[in-house]
């Protein structure tokens, strides 16, 4: 066999292998006791929840997100940057309590934190009006891992763009919201421990971060055949309808 033939065969073999998989960054984290796997590349992300029939696809380059339910054969299509949901028409408007003091949210640097999956961390406390809300651990080194910054930015955009302005929330939740933009400059969030009230515990913790992991070529492929696609607005409307039905049934039960 000539050298040219060998090179052709090697090239064909390599192309076949590459078409079946590609290298990605894979993050595993424990979120309130449930394991979540996040697969990332330059253009997309896939979040596999602890529920086997449910996952989310983010197309970062297109600004789109899709929540996929393989059991119900259903996909919810949404923009990464969305808008706050419209409240039900019969819901009374809320008013800011005048007796509630203004909040002063702050990030307090406490020094070095533990090494998590080999990444050094810095510990920051979130406080509001002197009350400790959470202990948080960020890693500048982990933030340099390919695709993590873009993913965190997209997740922040998804959350912040849908928040309802003026909606009453726990003071610590408001502090976290107010400090979200500043927190993004501190590094990749590796761990968060809730401290507010008597409730506490680890909200999330990174288990592992791996790069150049071979994953299936269809990892980011949106299923189409046999799936119903609905909008985010339709999903919200369905949820509100179920809530109204539950409230009506609850009212009837109390009446009897």
Lowest mean pLDDT: which of 10-19, 50-59, 73-82, 102-111?
A: 10-19
- Structure confidence by residue, pLDDT tens digits, 176-217: 999 999 999 999 999 999 987 666 789 999 999 999 999 999
CA distance 242 to 234: 12
Residue 2 pLDDT: 56
Q: What is the pLDDT of residue 132?
A: 94
- CA-CA distance, 206 to 114, in Å (whole number)? 12
CA angle 154, 159, 164 (to 5 degrees): 145
**Helix, strand or coil, per DSSP, at residue 154:** helix
Task: State the burial class of residue 37 (Cβ atoms within 10 Å of its Cβ: 0-12, 13-18, 19+).
Answer: middle
Q: Tell the CATH topology of 23-83+100-251.
A: outer membrane lipoprotein receptor (LolB), chain A (2.50.20)
Confidence of residue 85 (pLDDT cuts 50, 70, 90): confident
Paired tokens of 64: 């789109």
Determine the pLDDT at residue 252: 81
Is the pLDDT at 134 greater than 90? The verdict is yes
Instruction: Please give the pLDDT value at position 249.
Output: 82
Give the pLDDT confidence score for residue 244 in this predicted structure. Answer: 84
Tell me the two tokens of residue 182: 């500043």
The per-residue pLDDT for 197 is 64
pLDDT band at 17 (very low <50, low <70, confident <90, very high): very low
- State the pLDDT at residue 199: 66
Does the pLDDT of residue 1 top 70, yes or no? no
Predicted confidence (pLDDT) at residue 236 exceeds the cutoff of 70: yes
Concatenated DSSP letters of 22-40? EEEEEEEEEETTEEEEEEE
pTM for the model = 0.82
pLDDT at res. 229:
96
Query: Residue 94: is its pLDDT beyond 60?
Result: no
Our CA dihedral for 29, 30, 32, 37, rounded to 10 degrees, sits at: 50
Tell me which H or E stretch contains 56: strand 54-59
- CA-nearest of 24, 27, 45 to 37 is 27
pLDDT reported for residue 11: 53
């Amino acid at each position: 066999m000539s050298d040219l033939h060998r090179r052709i065969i090697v090239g064909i073999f390599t192309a076949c292998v590459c078409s079946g998989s590609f290298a990605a960054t894979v993050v595993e984290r424990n979120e309130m006791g449930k394991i979540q796997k996040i697969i990332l590349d330059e253009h997309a992300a896939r979040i596999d929840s602890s529920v086997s029939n449910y996952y989310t696809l983010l197309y970062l380059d297109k600004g789109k997100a899709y929540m996929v339910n393989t059991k119900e054969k259903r996909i919810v299509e949404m923009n990464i940057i969305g808008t706050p949901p419209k409240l039900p028409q019969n819901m009374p408007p809320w008013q800011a309590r005048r007796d509630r003091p203004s909040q002063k949210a702050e990030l307090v640097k406490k020094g070095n934190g533990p090494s998590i999956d080999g990444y050094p961390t810095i510990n920051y406390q979130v406080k509001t009006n002197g009350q400790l809300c959470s202990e948080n651990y960020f890693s500048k080194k982990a933030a340099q891992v390919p695709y993590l910054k873009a993913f965190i930015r997209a997740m922040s955009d998804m959350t912040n763009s849908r928040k309802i302005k003026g909606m009453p929330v726990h003071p610590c939740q408001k502090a976290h919201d107010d400090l979200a933009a500043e927190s993004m400059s501190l590094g990749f969030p590796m761990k968060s421990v809730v401290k507010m009230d008597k409730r506490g515990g680890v909200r999330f913790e990174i288990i592992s971060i791996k790069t150049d992991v071979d994953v299936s070529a269809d990892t980011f492929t949106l299923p189409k055949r046999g799936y119903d696609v609905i909008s985010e607005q339709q999903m919200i409307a369905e949820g509100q309808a179920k809530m109204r039905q539950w409230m009506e049934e609850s009212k009837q039960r109390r009446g009897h």
